Chain A
Amino acid sequence: MDLFLQQLANGLVIGSTYAVVAIGFALAFTVLRVINFAHPDIFMVGMFAGLVAAVEWPALGFLVVLIAGVLGAGFVGFALERTVIAPLRGRDVLMTLIGTLGVAIMLQNGMAVIAGPDPIAYPALIPRRFVDIGPVTLTLRQVLNFAICLALLALVSIYVRWTPWGRATRAIAERPDVAAAFGVNVARICQFTILLASMMGGVAAVSVGVLYGSAHAFVGLLYGLKAFICMLVAGNRYFEGVMVVGLAIGFVEALVTGYVSSSLRDAAAFFVLIGVLYFRPNGLFGSYAT
């Protein structure tokens, strides 16, 4: 039982990060009908922006590094929306997919040229300390990462459910033409959606960098793949559904690691994907028609 609870906690920590990246995917896909393959690499840029701030200004602390991650990721997200997504929005989904994939490749390889292809140590901004919660032991960094990701997910949920712009975001997701005809500036909401997703990715990226103590030019690949699976498994009808699936995938991975084999960990998400889509092709919580 202790092992189960420990793996549950480990799974929720990693799953919460998947959920944050997956929400970024889901926001872009649901609102803009764009599969933003550059999103995981915007996450990576956020991680490096935080790293640079932490190395350059080590005395400023974790909060400032987080802000640097937000600004770095937000800037790249904004530029991506202006230069690639906005001009291609409304065209065939494959065009934006290829466009964002191109940006993803440029970001990955560009960062590999600048920082090198190998992992770089992330400054230890949070002390190495253990926290006991009943039979479960987590590091302070894990607890912090989980808390940050959970806060981000809660903020997104509050945003889409309780604010006028959030309501407009959901309105665009369901019926973009009707939303426009009722006074919603669709282009502006789309722009903000990409910015929001990118900035959230930046926060999560710094947190993950601190958690694992390293940054890597290709780190987005792993998180992007898992997050994309989360979105497909959940469907894009409810953002909260994507969050729940993100947490669940992390949990399943942790269980596989704990009870089966760590080498099968990354395959677990694919088994879940195949199993769910076989029975529910529109995802567990349903999808909007595109």
Chain B
Amino acid sequence: MTPVLTIRSLAVSYGSVPAVRNVSLEIAPGELRVILGANGAGKTTVLKAILGLVRPRSGEIRFRDGTDLLRLKPHEIHGLGIAWVPEGRQLWNTLTVLDNLKLGGFGDRDKRAVDRRVGEMLERFPRLGERRHQVAGSLSGGEQQMVAIARALVSAPGLLLMDEPSLGLAPLVVREVFRLVREINEMGISILMVEQNANQALKVAHWVYLLETGNIVESGSAATIGAKESVKDVFLGGHA
């Protein structure tokens, strides 16, 4: 089966400082893969490279039938069906919830379909429905994460990139977010998620990559990676 995304030997630098040294990975349709890594390991940079927001020094990133993402601009990459849930939500805080959701489908020419999906999101997340005319910056962290996820889903993506969706959220909300991640994946949307919360990430992932100082050092099924002592020590606080 043709992978949704293929990355080979990706290297990205910020000026002379290397952030990603050698990353190769791929995601099959319907898969949920997780990149685990500590702060500064290069997780977010990998996602930004896929989105066209940073230009790699070398390597290749291909989508589905081989479309070279490195030749495309960010808005063109989004048009292929790649959506993003950024680290820290990064909503447009001065815009209303409704405007944030509508902008999620900005690149889609079928505005009726966008309106329909916005309506679906407001039904799926009743709290957002109640607060649709409120500016996004006034919502709680959990509600903001729901907006960030709903905004990404409005574009009906084939591949969803999620950057630390649990960051800064209360434990109960984190569980809710991961339940949602699993649901989205079960809808058939491929997901590449970067996380530090290994406990939760290992429960939902089909395949896990370990990223250290810009290199993929291990990869395997969630069970295999979760059983490794190094992972238990670094990410699971010494207990699985």
Any chain A CB within 8 A of the CB of B51?
yes
Any chain B CB within 8 A of the CB of A82?
no
Contact yes or no, B51 A164, CB < 8 A:
no
B110 to chain A, nearest CB (A): 13
CA–CA, A188 to B83, complex, Å?
A: 21
Specify which chain A residues have a CB less than 8 angstroms from the CB of B77 in the assembled complex: 181
Specify which chain B residues have a CB less than 8 angstroms from the CB of A181 in the assembled complex: 51-53, 74-75, 77-78, 84, 86
A90 to chain B, nearest CB (A): 12
Any chain B CB within 8 A of the CB of A39?
no
Specify which chain A residues have a CB less than 8 angstroms from the CB of B79 in the assembled complex: 183
Within 8 A of A (CB), among B64-97: 73-75, 77-79, 83-84, 86, 90, 92-95
A39 to chain B, nearest CB (A): 23
- A171-B78 contact, Cβ under 8 Å, with A164-B102, A179-B103: no
Specify which chain B residues have a CB less than 8 angstroms from the CB of A178 in the assembled complex: 84, 86, 90, 92
CA–CA, A182 to B51, complex, Å?
A: 10
A174 to chain B, nearest CB (A): 5
Which residue of A164, A171, A180 is within 8 Å of B74 (Cβ)? Answer: A180
Any chain A CB within 8 A of the CB of B107?
yes
Specify which chain B residues have a CB less than 8 angstroms from the CB of A118 in the assembled complex: none
Residue of A nearest to B82 (CB): A181
Interface of A is mostly: helix
Any chain A CB within 8 A of the CB of B99?
yes
Residue of B nearest to A238 (CB): B94
CA–CA, A62 to B20, complex, Å?
A: 61
Instruction: Provide 12 A-B residue pairs closer than 8 Å at the C-beta atoms, listed in order of the A residue.
Output: A174-B93, A175-B90, A177-B53, A178-B86, A180-B53, A180-B73, A180-B75, A181-B77, A181-B86, A182-B83, A182-B104, A183-B78
Q: Which residues of A contact B (CB under 8 A)?
A: 164, 167-168, 170-171, 174-175, 177-186, 237-238
Given A164-B111, A178-B86, list of 16 further CB < 8 A pairs?
Answer: A167-B99, A167-B103, A171-B95, A178-B84, A179-B103, A180-B73, A181-B74, A181-B84, A182-B103, A182-B151, A183-B78, A183-B79, A183-B155, A184-B103, A186-B75, A237-B94
Q: Which residues of B contact A (CB under 8 A)?
A: 51-53, 73-75, 77-79, 83-84, 86, 90, 92-95, 99, 102-108, 111, 151, 155
